[in-house]
Structure 1
């Protein structure tokens, strides 16, 4: 990957924050506590998936080779729980901000991950793990 996925999501969130400072687009009252809870859920989900990868001695960075195909924990429900955690965290920020810019950042982050990042990773995983990945992909949805 030319740009790491966390940098893509982070850049979109920073851009949304800056745009909101310059051109506020209030959508609803900020839900600070709810947003904080949702942000925490996103961090917990990504952290859980990351911990499983590290325990399996698989480097979570998308530019590094995978040692094993992990199918337990959050990987039972999502093929991309770390990226899903990023999106949940982003949705928590959008709730806290109460701005349309935050939700646009969430939507653009989803599109960037779903169209640019995940398909490349899936092609790699198909080559690396073959039939095992095909069976996993048939059982587990890309997101949720």
Structure 2
């Protein structure tokens, strides 16, 4: 059985947090620089994800988590993190927690990271290892999984 797609995991966490907040609100409360931080945490992940997708497109390979890659991508945001699109989902969920003023959504941020780390990434890494072998192994030694 294939694991769910990452956007489904993100949407599930966001909706679960929002729904929990509708039944039992737990607000984050005010804090300094909230508005600029919220904007940053909503815009930055979109830019990061777009950069990652454009990098895949330039290499003519698939960004599909269950797809078969045709090229090993090591440039663009992949110089800094092996999973920029997943990192962008985690940052985006944090931004939504601030936007919705929801402790529930914020609590689900590490849940999302854990689900991606345990359900999605191991399968991708195994596939990349099979396809690219030592090239991928060297990449994993140079670049961290997250940040």
Asked whether the two chains share a fold, i.e. TM above 0.5, the reply is yes
Structure 1 gaps of 5+ residues are none
**Kept after mapping to 2: 8 A contact 1:25/1:100:** yes
RMSD after superposition: 1.3
The separation in 2 between residues aligned to 1:58 and 1:24, in whole angstroms, is: 43
Residue 38 of structure 2 is aligned with which of 19, 35, 58? 35
Is 1:114 aligned to residue 117 of structure 2? yes
Cα distance, 1:32 vs. partner? 3.9
TM-score with structure 1 setting the length: 0.94
Alignment of 1:1-144 (within 5 A): 1-29=2-30, 31-144=34-147
The separation in 1 between residues aligned to 2:24 and 2:53, in whole angstroms, is: 36
**Kept after mapping to 2: 8 A contact 1:42/1:86:** yes
Cα distance, 1:4 vs. partner? 0.7
Cα distance, 1:19 vs. partner? 1.0
The separation in 1 between residues aligned to 2:146 and 2:58, in whole angstroms, is: 22
**Kept after mapping to 2: 8 A contact 1:9/1:109:** yes
Structure 2 gaps of 5+ residues are none
Bigger shift: residues 92-101 or 125-134: 92-101
Runs of 4+ in structure 1 deviating by more than 4 angstroms, as ranges, are none
Alignment: residue pair count: 144
The separation in 2 between residues aligned to 1:64 and 1:121, in whole angstroms, is: 9
**Kept after mapping to 2: 8 A contact 1:33/1:96:** no
Cα distance, 1:102 vs. partner? 1.3
Describe the SS at the equivalent of 1:101: helix
The separation in 1 between residues aligned to 2:137 and 2:57, in whole angstroms, is: 23
